[in-house]
Amino acid sequence: MGMPLTTPGYDYVNRMGLNIENLDGLNFKYAIQLDVPVELITNMTLYRFIDQWIGTPYHLGGNDQNGIDCSGFAKVLEGTVFNLSLPRTSSEQYQECHHVSSSEMQEGDLVFFGTKRGITHVGIYLANHKFVHASTSFGVMISDLGDDYWRVRFRGAGRITQ
C-alpha cells in the first residue's frame, strides 16, 4: 500500500464522490491535452467520441470517418453527444445558434471563424480556450483559440438551444 493521495485534485475528486482510481484513461489524456485538472473532464461521451474521430481526414462534403469537413463534424458531434440537430454548413450553423460572448463559452458551444466574406469554419469548444474541429490540413484535431492563426479569424461563439 502506498501513501494516500493528498493532492488538491484528488481531494476535489473525493469530495465530488468520485474515486480517482476509477477514472477513465481518457480523463487523464484529455486533461493533459486541454491543460486542465483531470476532475474537469467529466463528459466522457464527448471525449470518447473525440477519441474515435481524432485523425479522421478532412474531406469537403464528407460526413463519416472516411473523411469529414468542419461543419459535418460539428453536426455529427452535436447530434451524437448532445442530441442536437444542426444545419449542414458553418454559415447556416452560425445563423441558427444563440450567440454568446467568449467569457460565456461552455463545453459543446460552437466556435466560428471566417474572413471578410463570412463564416468559413466551425469547431466545438471544449475548455481552456481549446476546441475540436476538422482541419483542412490535419483532419480532426484539437486546437487553441489563442493561436495566432485562429485568434485573427475568430468570429464568435454560439450555443444551440432546442
- Please state the rounded mean pLDDT for residues 92-118: 96
Task: Report the pLDDT averaged over residues 32-57.
Answer: 96
| Averaged confidence pLDDT in the chain | 89
Where in the chain is CATH 3.90.1720.10?
43-159
Residue type, 50: I
Q: What's the pLDDT at 23?
A: 72
The reply to whether 129 belongs to the active site is: no
From the candidates 97, 99, 129, 133, give the one annotated as an active-site residue. Answer: 133
Q: What whole-number percentage of the chain has pLDDT above 70?
A: 86
Residues sharing a CB contact under 8 Å with residue 46, sequence separation 6 or more, in sequence order: 77, 81, 107, 108, 126
133 catalytically annotated:
yes
Percent of the chain with pLDDT strictly greater than 90? 80
Asked whether residue 101 carries a pLDDT value surpassing 60, the answer given is: yes
Whether 70 is catalytic is yes
Model confidence, pTM: 0.86
Per-residue model confidence as pLDDT tens digits over 111-157: 999 988 899 999 999 999 999 999 999 999 999 999 999 999 999 99
Whole-number pLDDT of residue 111: 98
Q: What is the CATH number of domain 43-159?
A: 3.90.1720.10
In whole angstroms, give the CA distance from residue 55 to residue 49. Answer: 12
Closest CA to 25 of 55, 48, 50, 2: 48
Tell me the one-letter amino acid at 107. Answer: E
